[in-house]
Structure 1
Amino acid sequence: MIEAEYSVPYLAHACMEPINCTASVSSMSCEVWIPTQAQHQVQIAAAEAAGVSEDDVTVNTTFLGGGFGRRGETDMVTQAVLASRAVGRPVKITWSREEDTRNDFYRPMAYGRLRAALDSNGNVTGWRHRIASPSILKRRASFATFSGHDITSVEGAANLPYQIPNQLIEYVMTETPVPVGFWRSVGSSQNAFITESFVDELAHAALQDPYTYRRELLVGKPRFQKVLDLAAEKAG
């Protein structure tokens, strides 16, 4: 039986373009200029902050200097709209790097405990992966229906391409005061690192090369094998 434990930290998005939004609010309407990944969510947030209907909100989507999930949030919209409503004129807000880093919706920290059984030839006969992390979907209940099962937290763990029998993937939702959000590949960000690190451990225990070990696990998956082959070729 091979066992390993891994932990990964919270991560900020650190987009190249600072967080910003421009808003112009009148008694009857609201217009917003913003680099965003979620136009409808912007419309909802702006309408609520401006005290107008969604139909009276115009969203102008600008080019964005990196999003990675951070620009699917609307905190900057509420801030700009409330400011414009208060002063009665258009307002543009631009966050400093320090403000951006301190007030992000971070990639969740995560902890993974893995166990695997190998036969005498080093083949995996059983795999268990237990994940503990905060839930993005629980916080973003308006984004998707949340039933207590957060599929984003098991991405990269519950959908492995490897031919491994007897898999058990478990998720334990943890509560923390740190706000979390969609970050790049979301669950695959941490889970791919954890699972691939563990596959390296299995290859080592089986006294096999990590590349050829993975290739055997991908039998019947020619597309994945080609990607692996190309990566090995480019790595020299």
Structure 2
Amino acid sequence: MARTTHLILIGALATTALSACTTDSRRSFLNEAGTFQGDGTFGNATMNNTLVQNGEKRYVLDLANRFANEVDSTVNFAFNSSQLDAAARATLNQQANFIRQFPEVRFRVYGHTDLVGSAAYNQRLGLARARAVVGYLVSHGISATRLEAVVSKGETQPLVVTQGRERKNRRTVTEVTGFVEDNPMILDGKYAQVVYRGYVESAIAPTGLTGVDFTGGSSGGE
């Protein structure tokens, strides 16, 4: 009896699943052409392969690591505010100085909030904070076209999970996102030259050295 009941249950589940698939397929078939809305991920695999093959992805990661190591990428805000305080402006001055060194590179600013308030309100507040940062960077010599997008994560990515007020969650984060596509240097694939420009320029020029023979022999007299 138990075995029969078990088989009947499996059969019912299979029939239900098949019916659902058939219904979805019929609905898709009957819909007007072009009404399907993708989830935004179509083409991501091809784009990723292209970035890997032309070397861009590796050097974007290299530059992102440099930015994170050399500059504080995060600024924080007072509760229910998008105003930049003195500490935030000091951090953004550092970000602007770094960004100005790399005119071929794009950046993105993400806005965040704590968990106090509604999700819709926090979405708007996160966007206001991101816009405040972008406005400050633009006012300090960064082209708005290089700040690829202003994105609000609202309350969805807290650093500290708490329902109360938390300053660490009230933040924006600036990140490297890629290279400017119409820059002639980048089209030549010279990503490394951009990423390591500071290191190359800081090196001592050979003409500034004495007593060194770069051909392998002695540069001194007999």
Higher strand share: 1
User: TM-score scaled by structure 2?
Assistant: 0.23
Of structures 1 and 2, the larger Rg is shown by 2
- TM-score, normalising length from structure 1? 0.22
